Amino acid sequence: MEAHVARNLLVAGLALAAGLAAWRVRRSPFWSERLAEVAWRRPLALAVIAGFAAVAALDTVSWRGAPEGAGLTEPRSALVRVFPDEFREASYSAPFADVEFYGGAPLRHPGRHVLGTDILGRDVLLLTLQGAKVALLVGGLTCLIAVPLALLFGVPAGWFGGRLDDLVFFLVSTLASMPSILLLIALVTAIGRGPVQVCFALAVTGWVGFCRLARAETLKIRELDYVQAARALGVPTRRILWRHVLPNLTHLIVITFVLTFSGLVLSEAVLSWLGLGLDGSWGQMIDQARDELSRAPVIWWNLGAASAALFTLILAVNRVGDAVRDVLDPRTVRERA
C-alpha cells in the first residue's frame, strides 16, 4: 500500500475512534456531565485545539492529481492544495509585501503570502500550519506509548506487591534519577532521530510519574469493599483489574494525558534546538529563525509565526488541562465548591 493511502486510512481510523469515544461519553452520565462542564468553562481553548486538529487532518489527507492539470504525480495534501508550490517565491518576503525583502525585486505572486516567505521562498503560513501535525504527533503518540507503559507496570505492582513491586520500584527510581533532559538526549543519540524514536524517547522519560501514581491508586482501590467482594466471589484477577481497577483509573489517565501533552511539545522544541527534533516542527522553525534575528533588517515573521502557533496550542492545552483536572480530580472538587 502506498504511504499516502496508509496515512489517509490512519486519519479515517482516528476520526472513527474519536466518534466512538464521543458515543461512549454520551452514553455515560458521569462522563458527559464532566465533558459538558469542561466545554462550558473553556470553550475557546477547546475550539483552538479542535482547529489545530482539523489543520493536522487536512495536512495528512492527500491524493494524486493536480488542481490545475499541471501533470504532477506526487500526492499532495488538502492543505498544500490551498497553498500550492506554484506560488513559491525566490527568497524572503515580508507579510503582504509586493517586493522581495532583500534586493526589492517584484514578487511573482504578490499578496499571496499573508505571513511572508522564508529563505527558500516557501509560504510561512503553510509551514506554520504544517507544524500542527508534528506537534499533535509528538504529544499524542508519546502519550499513547507512555500511558499504557505506565499502566502495564504500575497496576500489577500495586495489585500484587512483593517482589514485583520492588522490581518496578527499582526500575522507576533508576529512570527517575537520571536528569530527564540528559536522559532524553542520550536516548535519542543512541536509538536514532526518526519521529517514532523521538516519541519513544520522550515516552521513556515521561512515563515514570504516572507509573507511581497508577501504583499508589491501585493499592488504594485494592482495599475497597467492592473489590474485596469481587475477590471473595472468586472473580478472576484479570477480570477484576479490567472491570474494577482500570475504570477507576480513567480520570487519572485523562488528567495525565492532557497535562503531559503540553510539556512534551515544549520538550520537542528544546530537542529541535539541539538538532534532535522532528522535521517540520515549530521548534525547528524557531531554531532556524535564530540566525535571522541577527540579520539587518531583522527577519521576524518566521520566528513570530512559529512562536505564536506553539504558544497558542500549549496555552489552550494547559487551560483545558487545568479545567479537566478541576472537574475530574476528587481532591480539587472541594476547593471548587
Partner 1 sequence: MTAWLARRLLWGAATVLGVLGFLFVLFFATADPEDIAKRALGEKAPPEAVAQWIANHGYDRPRVWNPADPTDTMLFEHYRRMLAFDFGRSDADDVPIAQRLRAGVGVSLSLTVPLFLLGIPLALGASLLVAFFRETYIDRAGVVLAVVAMSVSILIYILAGQYVVGVLLRWFPISGFDIDPAVVARFLALPVGVGLLHGLGSDVRFYRTVFVEETSRDYVRTAFAKGAGDGRVMARHVLPNAMLPILTHEVVRIPGLFTGALLLESFFGIPGLGSMTVDAINANDFATLRVMVYVGALLFIAAQIATDVAYTVADPRVRLG
The residue among 132, 156, 145 whose CA lies nearest residue 260 is: 145
Judged by beta carbon, residue 2 or residue 335, the one nearer partner 1 is: 335
CB of 150 to partner 1, least distance (A): 18
- Buried-exposed string 282-320: b where 16+ CB fall within 10 A, e elsewhere: bbbbbbebeebeeeeeebbbbbbbbbebbeebbebbbbb
38 versus 187: smaller Cβ distance to partner 1 = 187
The residue among 60 and 128 lying less far from partner 1, judged by its C-beta, is 128
Smallest gap, in angstroms, from Cβ of residue 177 to partner 1? 5
DSSP string, 25-65: HHH-HHHHHHHHHHHHH-HHHHHHHHHHHHHHHHHH-EESS
Query: In the complex, what is the shortest distance from the CB of residue 121 to partner 1, in angstroms, rounded to a whole number?
Result: 24
C-alpha cell at 78: 488538502
- Indicate the residue among 60 and 205 with the shorter CB distance to partner 1: 205
- The binding site for partner 1 (CB under 8 A) comprises 170-171, 173-175, 177-179, 181-183, 185-187, 189-191, 262, 266, 269-270, 273-276, 283, 286-287, 290, 293, 303, 307, 310-311, 314-315, 318-319, 322, 335
Give least dist CB 90 to partner 1, A: 27
Residue with Cβ nearer partner 1 (165 or 322)? 322
We find the least distance from the C-beta atom of residue 76 to partner 1, in angstroms, to be 30
Q: How far is CA 81 from CA 41, 77, 117, 154, 321, in A?
A: 36, 6, 17, 46, 34
